[in-house]
């Protein structure tokens, strides 16, 4: 048992299976969110108009140099964040898949 722990093999398969399935569901929900934000972007102009002026001097200097108001693109940032999180979770799923039990089909009737 100690050698399994040292090798990084999880011993409690039930928890790993539940975690694996939860990760798969989370990735699906992130994909749904990504599609929703692409098809129906949020209008954040009123949010940025009602905010107090920037207190950060770097932002003020950037606005002066670029001669325009810097309003972050919320939708693009959200899409990037969802894409990054989905990729991270997918890598975790790929790593966990080697520990998932394999269903044996020789005991079934193949009628």
pLDDT digits (tens, 9 = 90+) for 42-53: 887 776 666 555
Please compute the mean of the pLDDT values over residues 74-87 and round it to a whole number: 93
36: Cα separation from own chain's centroid: 15
Q: Which of 40, 22, 26 is nearest to 79 (CA)?
A: 40
Confidence at residue 8, expressed as pLDDT on a 0 to 100 scale? 60
For residue 89, count CB atoms less than 10 angstroms from its CB and return exposed for 0-12, middle for 13-18, buried for 19 or more. Answer: middle
Between 25 and 65, the higher pLDDT residue: 25
Higher-scoring residue by pLDDT: 40, 104? 40
3 state DSSP class of 98: coil
Here the tokens at position 103 are: 């269903």
Domain boundaries, the chain: 2-97
pTM over 0.75: no
Tokens of 94: 């790929």
**Maximum Cα–Cα distance across the chain:** 75
Compute the distance between CA of residue 59 and CA of residue 54 in angstroms, rounded to an integer: 7
Q: How confident is the model at residue 61 (pLDDT cuts 50, 70, 90)?
A: low
Rounded mean pLDDT of 72-81? 88
Could you read off the pLDDT of 3-52 as tens digits, one per residue? 555 556 556 778 888 999 999 999 999 999 999 999 998 887 776 666 55
């Amino acid at each position: 048992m100690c050698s399994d722990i040292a090798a990084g093999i999880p011993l409690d398969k039930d928890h790993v299976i539940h975690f694996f399935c939860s990760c798969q569901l989370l990735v699906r929900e992130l994909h749904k969110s990504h599609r929703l934000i692409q098809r129906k972007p949020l209008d954040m102009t009123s949010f940025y108009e009602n905010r107090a002026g920037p207190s950060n001097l770097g932002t003020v200097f950037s606005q002066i140099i670029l001669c325009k108001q810097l309003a972050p693109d919320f939708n693009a940032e959200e899409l990037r964040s969802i894409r990054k999180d989905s990729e991270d979770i997918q890598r975790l799923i790929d790593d966990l898949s080697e520990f998932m039990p394999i269903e044996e089909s020789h005991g079934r009737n193949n009628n």
